[in-house]
A and B are shown apart, each in its own frame.
Chain A
Amino acid sequence: MFRPPMAENPPAVEIRDLVKDFKTSFRRKPLRAVDGVSIRIMPGEVYGLIGPNGSGKSTTMKALLGLVAPTSGNCAIFGKDSLKVDSRNEVGFLPENPYFYKHLSGAETLRFYGRLCGIGGKILTQRVNELLALVDLEGARDRRIGGYSKGMLQRIGLAQALIQEPRLVILDEPTAGVDPVGSRQIRDLILKLRERGITVFLCSHLLEQVQEVCDHVGIIFRGRMIREGRLEDLISIEDQTDIVLKDATPELLAQIGDLVSKSPGASIVRTGKPRTTLERLFLREIREEEE
């Protein structure tokens, strides 16, 4: 359900009943990529749109950026219609698998995008230095983009998205094809953006990553939004409670088991040792090896 927009504090993203049909071959029915999707993201939120490949995630983002025109419905960024150029003053975008101009260096790339946003002179130089430091590419600032690794490309892509200090950042599969270390760096950057109050709208099919950074999620399937809400609300199992103990003796565990069995209606669902994820294990091993 949509709340009426507040003029003084408009949502960062407002997508209303978005429908997008693509023409297919002659005489065939058009392909409906997005079917009545509505999303509202308030400033400061990190929203994850998840769904399998071809479910309409990228089309929704492109409609929000004015790269495709909605068949029906409308999109707005901070209250400004997405089809108008000025709506893009406050948005940064990182497309899926971006390839920037290979003949430019990292610093030249950022300067190019900065100038497109009307930034110049000392402010631009300062901003470029700041962003290269943020994405940890100071060492590769004068190296041509053609020689960048996949992870470096994603990071310079994130830096160009942030060049004009947008209040909203849209990331399409930001960690696709990136190794776990690069992937972690990008997730850390997203968390930094959240700390700074920047709204992030990302889409991914890597669920664990979305779970780590997002506070709101939407699940899109075959062009339709099938579930949406606060991540905590969506994934918590209401009738269960976690208790994680450290250095518990077998006697203590037995006592807890006794207490639970005496309590009417309560039962222990599962006991055992919590496990780390394979990704955390990988990162820990790499770090230890480096040290």
Chain B
Amino acid sequence: MSTPASIPMQGSNASRILTIATHTFTQLVRMKVFYFMGIFAVIAIASNFFDLPQHEGPESVGASVLRSIKSWSLGAMTLFSVVLSIVATALLLPKDVEDRTLYTILAKPVPRIDYLAGKLLGVLLLVFVSLALMDLLMVAVLQIRTTMVVAQQAEMAKAMGWPQDAIDSLRADTLASGPNAALQGAVLAVFLRAVIMASLALLISTFSSSTLFTTIVSFLVYFIGHFQADARDIYLHSGQAGEGLFARLASLLLSLVLPDFQLFNVIDAVIEGQALPLLTMGKLALVSLYYALFFTIASWFVFSDKEF
């Protein structure tokens, strides 16, 4: 052992956050969370067989199966990403306190915000990698099935004597239902929703005393988020309640604190084959960033005064 204090310390906040984030990612990977990928693979492949028999013309061949693959895959991605982001975040912080590993980390020159940011980024890294793998699988299945559907439609259209320009137009329509930029935008939207949920779970876990409480409250907020915009709308437009300044301020405050998940309905539109404008995507990214920052900063305020 060399003489004391001979090691140069060059740790920056970014390097500490990265250390904690990569460690959190490794921790979750070694907890075997990737096993759910097997379930996703089964769902993605099984969704191939939900083809409703409506073979009245070439244009209806395989139309429902492509929608089914996208719907089931994006649904599974949403479920996995939301469950992962809530449960993993809710689990990590109390575990560190219970095992006293948090003492050893905070006894090092680690600011509490670095610890929180590292944990959150680690969970988000895991969700991102999981979504990327699921996306890859979905695109592969969808690509193969789209090629098959295009071939089937062309064959049937030719047999029915369709003109070449009509066959080309049908082919273009079918290809638009396959893997495209809008679908990737929808996957990104799924990730952004997970970002909000993970940061919310982080905030709740800073003052909650159990993983179960954090998980339940987070899921509750998730469900409230899906109808809070409607509820506010009904409240503000019904009778005289919505006319007062107080009601409007209260409604604004609620929307600033509780995320409005109806914004993410664009995912359903993509499943139906609609385009996802860049502007909508940008708006979604900004809103998500706002909620993630708001919840993380609020977590820091609670956590900075917490005693262990």
Contact indicator A165/B104 (Cβ below 8 Å): no
Min CB gap B35→A, angstroms: 15
In the complex, residue of chain B having the shortest beta-carbon distance to the beta carbon of A130: B1
For the complex, what is the distance from the CA of A198 to the CA of B1, rounded to whole Å? 11
B159 within 8 A of A: no
A-B interface pairs (CB < 8 A), number:
125
Which of B104, B110, B111 has the most chain A CB within a 10 Å cutoff? B104
User: Shortest distance in angstroms between A161's beta carbon and chain B's nearest beta carbon?
Assistant: 8
In whole angstroms, how far apart are the Cα atoms of A99 and B105 in the complex?
12
Q: Which of under 10, 10 to 19, 20 to 34, or 35 or more describes the interface residues of A?
A: 35 or more
Contact flag A85-B110 (CB < 8 Å), given A115-B19, A134-B1: yes
Of B23-31, B36-44, B127-135, B230-238, the segment with at least 4 beta carbons within 8 Å of chain A is: B23-31
Q: State in angstroms the CA–CA spacing of A83 and B221 once bound together.
A: 35
User: Within the complex, what minimum Cβ distance (angstroms) separates A141 from chain B?
Assistant: 17
Question: What residue in chain B is nearest A198 (Cβ atoms)?
Answer: B4
Asked if B16 lies at the interface with its beta carbon under 8 angstroms from chain A, I say yes
- For A117, what are the chain B residues with a Cβ–Cβ distance below 8 Å? 7, 9, 11, 108-109
**In the bound complex, do residue B109 and residue A127 qualify as a contact, i.e. CB atoms below 8 Å apart?**
no
Contact of A88 among B15, B20, B109, B308 (CB under 8 A): B109
**CB of A82, distance to nearest CB on chain B (Å):** 11
Among B53-61, B95-103, B240-248, B279-287, the stretch that binds chain A is B95-103
Contact of A119 among B9, B106, B305 (CB under 8 A): B9
Q: Contact between B12 and A118 (Cβ–Cβ < 8 Å)?
A: yes
Which B residues touch A201, using CB under 8 A?
Answer: none
Q: Across the interface, do B23 and A112 meet the contact criterion of CB distance under 8 Å?
A: yes
What are the residues of chain A within 8 A of B12 when measuring CB–CB? Answer: 118
Q: Is there a chain A Cβ closer than 8 Å to B2's Cβ?
A: yes
A229 at the interface (CB under 8 A from B): no
Contact between B110 and A116 (Cβ–Cβ < 8 Å)? yes
A285 close to chain B: CB less than 8 A: no
What sequence of 0s and 1s flags, for each residue 5-22 of chain B, a beta carbon within 8 Å of any chain A beta carbon?
Answer: 111111110011001100
The proximity string for A residues 162-174 relative to B, scoring 1 for CB distances below 8 Å and 0 otherwise, is 1011110010000
Name A113's contact: one of B2, B30, B104 (CB within 8 Å): B104
